[in-house]
Amino acid sequence: MTNYKPRIASVLLALLVAFLGGAAAPAVAHEAAAPITAAAECGDTSGFKKTPLDTLPKEATDTYNLIKKGGPFPFPEKDGTVFSNREGILPSCASGYYHEYTVITPGSPDRGARRIVTGSGGEFFYTADHYKTFSVIPVDGGTPSPECGDPAGLDTVKLSTLSAEAKAAVDKARGGASGTVYENREGVLPACDSGYYQLFPVGAEDRVISGKGGEIFYTPDHYSTFQFVELDS
C-alpha cells in the first residue's frame, strides 16, 4: 500500500513556505532606505542655523571673549584642544582644523554640555548638547565685547545726571583711588587684561567702574548693563 504521509508533508511544507514568503513580501517592498547625509565641505556653513552671540547664554560671550584674548581658560587642560568632529556634523575638514572651548554651565559640577568650537577659517560654532547639534555664531552679527579702550558700542550718560553718591564714586575713580578689581566676567565692557578695571560701589545695585585708560563706566543694575560716563557734562 502506498504511503501518502511523506507526500502530504511535502505539500504542506511547500504551502507554508509560499504563505510566509507572500506575507513577508509587502514589508520588503515598502521598506525605505535611511537617507545618508554627508558632512558639508570644509568652510561651508550655509546649512547651519545662525545663532547670534547675544541670544546665547551670557557664558557663551565670556568664552568668546576668552578665545579672542587667548585665555586664561577655566579648563586649561581641555580648552583649546583639537576637536576631531567624530560625529561628522560639522563641515568635513582636515585633522586639527577645529578646536573646542568650554562654555560654563552655572551649577554644573563638571564642564557641562555646552561648547564653542572654532575653525581655522574663523568659524565659530555653538553646541548646547555635547556635540549632538551645532549652530553657527555669526560673529559679525553678534555682540562680542569691543576692544580694550573702545567704549563706542555702549550707551552714554552725562555725569550731571548721576546721583550724588555716583558722582562721589566717579570723583574717587578720577582721583586715582584704589577700588576692587573688576574682572568683567559678564563680558559687557570692552575686553581688557585682568586687573584693568577698578570697581567702586555706590548703592544696592549701581556701581562705578574705572579703566586704566581713564574710562569711567556706570552700571545701574549690578553689571547687567553699562553706560560710558561723559565726564565733561
pTM: 0.48
Q: What is the mean pLDDT of residues 71-88?
A: 94
Question: Lowest mean pLDDT: which of 2-6, 205-209, 226-230?
Answer: 2-6
Catalytic residue selected from 100, 123, 186, 215 = 100
Q: Is 133 helix (H, G, I), strand (E, B) or coil?
A: coil
Q: Pairing between strand 155-158 and 227-230?
A: parallel
| Active site annotation includes 165 | no
Could you give the C-alpha distances from 78 to 68, 73, 99, 135, in angstroms and in order?
Answer: 17, 9, 10, 21
Question: Lowest mean pLDDT: which of 2-16, 26-40, 85-99, 151-165?
Answer: 26-40
Domains of the chain in start order, with CATH, are: 53-141 (3.10.450.30), 155-230 (3.10.450.30)
Q: Pairing between strand 81-83 and 115-119?
A: unpaired
- Cβ pair 206, 229 in contact under 8 A: no
Catalytic residue selected from 130, 147, 205, 230 = 130
What confidence score (pLDDT) does residue 25 get? 40
pLDDT digits (tens, 9 = 90+) for 117-148: 999 888 999 999 999 999 999 875 444 556 78
| Active site annotation includes 100 | yes
Neighbours of 137 (CB within 10 A): 26
Q: What is the mean pLDDT of residues 195-208?
A: 94
